[in-house]
Amino acid sequence: MRGLAGRRAILTGGASGIGRATAVRLVEEGCTVGIFDQNFAGTEETAALCRGKPGRVLIYKVDITDRDAVATATDVFEHDAGPVELLANVAGWDRPIPFLDTDRAFWDKVIGINLYGPLNLHHVVVKRMADRGFGRVVTVSSDAGRVGSSGEAVYSACKGGVIAFTKTMARELARNNVTLNVVCPGPTDTPLFGGFVTDMPKLAESLARAIPLRRLGVPDDYPGIIAFLLSDDASYITGQTISVSGGLTMQ
């Protein structure tokens, strides 16, 4: 894709799943990718998968719920690689629990990772992009944020909030030449989804039957659209929400 080779990107959640697949794709496109993730062992595995590809990977153990930690890691990345130009917010976490059975500690964890995490990355990284007059941002939300999802009330609230936040930021930063878009995966076979299957063994089978393409998503279904939205091929696209769900949800 045009305009990715040589770009410097920060990506969250690159230790596994969609984040790992996206990190590999961006390195294949020639990007220098700084992975922010608490799972340092997982990021080392991702880095190993990227060896020999045109770009390179730098890994940092970062708690994205901590704004100061994000700022420090961003400073280190820019010292190591140069000014950040691209941002992919991919990190996420949830457990399937009916809302009335949850407690405040659970809410705080879900909100911290899925809402405060992206807010922190925007507040630190996107401000630098705006000051420099260039940036491209893709945040991975979820179709749970568009249409709801039983057992994921707080997660859905966070993901819906990310969609509205991105649209607002896209309006605010258009004159700074910063584009911001959202990708909404449908049900996807990732380590996170594995926890759902453990709690609800028949979930994967029933979801696959409901999806018009007759299968769950896999991590490799998403890096193409994320890379596209970060590339110069998408320079006139901003404030958009794109569902990648095998047709489970349509708009």
Place of tokens 């990227």: 50
- Give the model's pLDDT for residue 78: 98
- Using alpha carbons, list the distances in angstroms from residue 14 to 64, 191, 193, 232, 235: 12, 12, 16, 23, 24
Which residues are paired to 86 by β-bridges? 9, 136
Rounded to the nearest angstrom, the gap between the alpha carbon of residue 154 and the centroid of all alpha carbons in its chain is: 18
Q: Are 154 and 99 in contact (CB under 8 A)?
A: yes
Distance, CA of 71 to CA of 63 (rounded, Å) = 11
User: Which amino acid, one-letter code, is at 184?
Assistant: C
Place of tokens 């040589």: 6
- Give the model's pLDDT for residue 204: 67
CB atoms < 10 A from the CB of 128, how many? Answer: 15
Buried b (16+ CB within 10 A) or exposed e, 162-189: bbebbbebbeebeebebbbbbbbbbbbb
Pick the closest to residue 64 from 137, 18, 10 (CA basis). Answer: 10
- Give the model's pLDDT for residue 231: 98
Q: Are 169 and 180 in contact (CB under 8 A)?
A: yes
User: Residue 249 carries which DSSP code?
Assistant: S
Pick the closest to residue 244 from 234, 232, 233, 224 (CA basis). Answer: 224
Distance, CA of 101 to CA of 98 (rounded, Å) = 5
Handedness of CA 155, 156, 162, 165 (dihedral sign): negative
Residue ranges of domains in the chain, CATH in brackets: 8-243 (3.40.50.720)
Distance, CA of 226 to CA of 208 (rounded, Å) = 23
User: Which amino acid, one-letter code, is at 10?
Assistant: I
- Give the model's pLDDT for residue 195: 60
89 φ/ψ angles, rounded to the nearest 5 degrees: -90, 100
- Give the model's pLDDT for residue 200: 58
Q: For the chain, what's the residue count?
A: 251
- Give the model's pLDDT for residue 32: 98
- Give the model's pLDDT for residue 209: 85
* Predicted model pTM: 0.94
Quote the tokens at residue 251: 């708009």
- Give the model's pLDDT for residue 98: 94
- Give the model's pLDDT for residue 139: 98
Positions marked catalytic: 155
Q: Block means of pLDDT (10 residues each) for the chain, length 251 residues?
A: 97 97 98 98 98 97 98 98 98 94 98 98 98 98 92 96 98 98 92 62 74 91 98 98 91 71
- Strand 32-37 relative to strand 56-61, pairing: parallel
